[in-house]
Amino acid sequence: MKIASWNVNSLKVRLEHVCEWLTAQQPDLLGLQELKLTDDKFPVTELDALGYGAVFAGQKTYNGVAILYRKASMPAPLDVQVNLPSFPDEQKRVIGATFGDLRFVSAYVVNGSEVGSEKYDYKMRWLEALRTDLAAWSNTWTKLALVGDFNIAPADEDVWDPAGWGEAVLCSPPERQHFRALLDLGYCDAFRQLPQAPASFSWWDYRQLGFQKNRGLRIDHILLSKTLQAQLKACSIDRAPRKKPQPSDHAPIWAELA
Averages of pLDDT over runs of 10 residues in the chain (258 residues) are: 98 98 98 98 98 98 98 98 97 98 98 98 98 98 98 98 98 98 98 98 97 98 98 98 98 98
Distance (Å, whole) CA 210 – CA 96: 32
108 part of the active site: yes
The pLDDT of residue 256: 98
The pLDDT of residue 21: 98
Strand partners, 96: 81, 105
Distance (Å, whole) CA 46 – CA 254: 22
Q: Please report, for the chain, how many H helices and E strands are present, in that order.
A: 6, 14
Distance (Å, whole) CA 85 – CA 123: 16
- The domain ranges of the chain are 2-257
The yes or no reply on domain 2-257 and CATH 3.40.50.970 is: no
C-alpha separations of 182 from 127, 156, 157, 197, 225 in Å: 9, 18, 19, 24, 10
User: Strands, DSSP E only, in the chain?
Assistant: 2-7, 29-33, 52-57, 65-70, 78-82, 94-99, 102-108, 143-149, 187-189, 203-204, 216-217, 220-225, 232-237, 253-257
* 45 contacts: CB under 8 Å, gap ≥ 6: none
Distance (Å, whole) CA 118 – CA 17: 34
249 part of the active site: no
Torsion angle of the four alpha carbons 32, 67, 106, 122, in this order, in degrees rounded to the nearest 10? 70
The pLDDT of residue 130: 98
What confidence tens digit (pLDDT) does each residue in 219-256 have?
999 999 999 999 999 999 999 999 999 999 999 999 99
Contact between 202 and 220 (Cβ < 8 Å) = yes
The pLDDT of residue 113: 98
Catalytic residue among 28, 52, 69, 108: 108
The pLDDT of residue 183: 98
Catalytic residue among 149, 158, 189, 249: 149
Chain centre distance of CA 105: 9
